[in-house]
Amino acid sequence: MKKIYISLYLLLILTGCESFVESTTSSISYVTDEEINDPANIPFLINGVLNDYSSAHTYVSLWADLLSDALVNDGKVQGSTDVRGEYLDNGSYDPTVGTYAPPYQAIAKVWRSANSLKLRLDLMDGDESSEKLGYYTAYLYQALPCYLLGTYYGNGPNYPDDGGATLNESAFQRSSNLYSMAISYFDSAMIYADEYQKKIIHSLLGRQYLYEGNYSAAAQHALLGLQQSDESFNALSGEEDPWPNWYWYEAGSNRTRYTLASRFKHFLGEDFEDTNGNGVWDSTETFTDCAITGADVGQGNGTYDGPLELEEIVRLSLSVATMTPGQSYSRYFQTKYPFADSPVSIIDWKENHLILAELALRGESVNVTAIDAVNSVRSSHGLQSLASVDYEVLLHERDKELFCQGQRLIDQNRFSDILNWHLPDGDTWRYLPVPFEEALNNPNYP
C-alpha cells in the first residue's frame, strides 16, 4: 500500500505539476495609475470613500456617546472588559495616546480617500453623470472630516482659542479654521449637487453654524435643508467591502462592551413578570432592577421603577444585557442598529426640524415655531403633541430623537448649565463640559 502511495506521489510530481502551472494565470503584483484612473473605476472609488466615512462616523459617534451621559462602561456586564472604555466613560480622553487614536486616524483616512478621488477625477475623462457624482462625493467627504475634527476634537478647554486638530499630517488647525475648510468644501460640493443633495448640504451647514454659534447663518441654511418628504442622509455600506457599524460592533448585539445610560430604560419602565396578566407590576411579581437613573454607579435601587415615558419605545430600541453571575441589577444595550451594516443617520429632516426649533427659541426667523417643529418630529413617530417647548424640553427631545448618534456630547457642552453637566473638582477632561469662563477661573481644571 505504501508503494502505491509513493508511486502516485511521484506521478503527480513528474506530470501533474507541470499541467497545474500551465493552467494558472500570472499573478498581479501592482496596478498602474493609468489603470486606476480609468473612468470605469469611478463607482469603485466612490464606494471606497463611502465605506471609509461610514466607519469613521460611527467610530467617532460611539466614543462621543461614551464620553457623554449616553453610554456607560460597566465591567459587570459580560463582554465589557475594557480599561480604555472605563477611562472614556469617566471623561479621560487624550487623542494623542496610541490606543485612543483610531477614530482620529479613521477621520484622516476619509479625507485622504476623498482627496484622492478628486485628484483622480481631474485626470479622468469620464461621462458627465459619473464625474458629477464623483466630484460631489469628493468635496462632500472632504468637508465632513473637517466638521468632525472641528466639532469633536476642536472644543477644548480654551475653545475657540486653542481647540483644533491636525489633518493628514498638516500643521495644527484651530477649530475655526477646520470649520472654514468644511464650509469651502461644502460650497464646492454644492456646485455638483442635485436638488436633494443640496438640501443635505444646507442641513449640514445649518448644524455646523448652530454649533459654531452663528445662528443667523444656521437659520439661512436650515430653512433650505431637508424636509419631511426627504430621505435620511445615512452613513452606510457601499456595494463592496461592508464596514462595521461600531455601535453594533462594540455596543450592541455583537458585543456589549458599552451599554446604555440607565435613564433610557427608565423612560420605558423596568421589566417584570406579569404573572397575573393585568398589564401592570404588582408587588408580588418579579422585576428586573436597572441601575439608578443618572448615577450609573453599578447598582439598582431595589425597587420597581415604572415607565416615565412608555410611548418612547418607538424611538428607543434596547435589550437587556447579560451580566456576570451574582449581579442584582441589569444593564441594557441599544438595538437601534441590529446588524453590522445597519445605516446610521448623518443628518435627516427630523434633526433639521429640531435645529429649526432651537433657532426659533433663539429668536431667529425660520418660518416655523419651536413647538410646531418639535411636534412635527413627534407626530412622525405617532407621539402625542406637546403643549409648549423651552430649551429643557428641546434637549429632552433631542436626547431621544438623536439616540445613539453621537450628538449628546455636543449638547452637553453647549448646554452644560441646563443639563447639569459638571465634573467633580479634581477631575479632568480633554474636552471640558463647562463654559470657558468657569474653567478659566477654576484651578482644578488644567
pLDDT at 34: 61
pLDDT at 11: 38
> What is the rounded distance in angstroms from the CA atom of residue 358 to the CA atom of residue 100?
33
For the chain, give every residue range classified as CATH 1.25.40.390.
40-235
The answer to whether residue 28 scores a pLDDT higher than 60 is no
> What is the rounded distance in angstroms from the CA atom of residue 170 to the CA atom of residue 163?
15
Residue 321: partners with Cβ closer than 8 Å, 6 or more residues away: 77, 78, 256, 259, 330, 331, 332, 333
The answer to whether residue 12 scores a pLDDT higher than 90 is no
The confidence band for 163, taking pLDDT boundaries of 50, 70 and 90, is confident
pLDDT at 339: 92
The answer to whether residue 3 scores a pLDDT higher than 60 is no
> What is the rounded distance in angstroms from the CA atom of residue 52 to the CA atom of residue 45?
11
Q: What are phi and psi of 370, to 5 degrees?
A: -60, -40
Query: In the chain, what is the straight-line distance between the N-terminal and C-terminal CA atoms, in Å?
Result: 80
Cα distances (angstroms) measured from residue 381 to each of 283, 368, 374: 33, 20, 12
The answer to whether residue 338 scores a pLDDT higher than 50 is yes
Q: What is the pLDDT of residues 359-380, one digit of tens each?
A: 999 999 999 999 999 999 999 9
pLDDT at 243: 66
pLDDT at 297: 79
Is domain 40-235 classified as CATH 1.25.40.390? yes
Query: How much of the chain, in percent, has pLDDT values that exceed 70?
Result: 82
Q: What is the pLDDT of residues 174-201, one digit of tens each?
A: 888 999 999 999 999 999 999 999 999 9
pTM of the model: 0.86
Q: What are phi and psi of 323, to 5 degrees?
A: -95, 160
Cell triple for 228 = 419631511
pLDDT at 293: 78
Per-residue pLDDT, averaged over 85-92, amounts to 83
pLDDT at 183: 98
Beta carbons within 10 angstroms of residue 342's beta carbon? 18
Cα distances (angstroms) measured from residue 31 to each of 38, 41, 293: 11, 13, 56
pLDDT at 237: 58
Q: What is the pLDDT of residues 200-217, one digit of tens each?
A: 999 999 999 999 999 999
The answer to whether 340 and 252 have CB atoms below 8 angstroms apart is no
> What is the rounded distance in angstroms from the CA atom of residue 422 to the CA atom of residue 239?
44
What is the H or E stretch that residue 36 is in?
helix 33-36
The answer to whether residue 160 scores a pLDDT higher than 90 is no
Q: What is the DSSP letter of 287?
A: B
The answer to whether residue 161 scores a pLDDT higher than 80 is no
The answer to whether residue 421 scores a pLDDT higher than 60 is no
pLDDT at 162: 59
Question: Judging by beta carbons within 10 Å of its beta carbon (0-12, 13-18, 19+), is residue 338 exposed, middle or buried?
Answer: middle
